[in-house]
Amino acid sequence: MNHEANGRILLVDDDAVFNQVLGRALSTRGFEVRGAHNGKEALALCAEFKPRYIVLDLKLGTESGLGLIPSLNREVPDARILLLTGYASIATAVEAIKRGAHDYLAKPVDADQVVQALLGNSVQQQAADLKLPDAPPPLKRLEWEHIQRVLNDCEGNISEAARRLGLHRRTLQRKLAKRPVRETPPR
């Protein structure tokens, strides 16, 4: 698989090891890869490198990858943006697409999944191949997604989100510290 014509990828993740490992794997697949660890580095590299593809992490230390998407789109309007996150939720996926991301994947991911998503074969194809679950998602999962949606609406302000949810701030912080509930119970 060779992608020389438009094969420039910018990886934006605060985890240097993840950036290095994924970058090496994508390089072996024929892509030219550069890495950034924060929004400032990413925008500077976009101006210089002009990537065709951008792989962006949702959490960049204290920054949010969601907030960086519009700036990246202004800098390289033709770039295809893939948002990665370790805390996947429907609310975050919808917000990422609204802000200009082209696709969204939950970590852990491998290089082949990233390549498929960058080339436009991920979410649409997977949605066509998926069977709907027999049961609705667990109530705890729905609660977690609702909390994520409200927190996103509050631009990450825990106190404001807690007020809107009718929770004490510490209670909300405890709920946020927990990992999200799985979509389907393990078999």
Instruction: Give the domains, in start order, of the chain with CATH numbers.
Output: 8-129 (3.40.50.2300), 131-187 (1.10.10.60)
Token pair for 158:
């825990």
Mean pLDDT computed over 35-40:
89
* Mean pLDDT rounded to a whole number for the chain: 80
Mean pLDDT computed over 86-93:
78
Looking at residue 176, what is its pLDDT? 81
Looking at residue 133, what is its pLDDT? 53
Give tens-digit pLDDT for 54-82: 998 888 878 888 888 898 989 998 889 88
Q: Residue 80: which H helix or E strand, with range?
A: strand 80-85
Q: What pTM, to 2 d.p., does this model score?
A: 0.63
Looking at residue 182, what is its pLDDT? 59
Looking at residue 87, what is its pLDDT? 74
Cα angle at 64 between 114 and 40, to 5 degrees?
90
Mean pLDDT computed over 136-161:
81
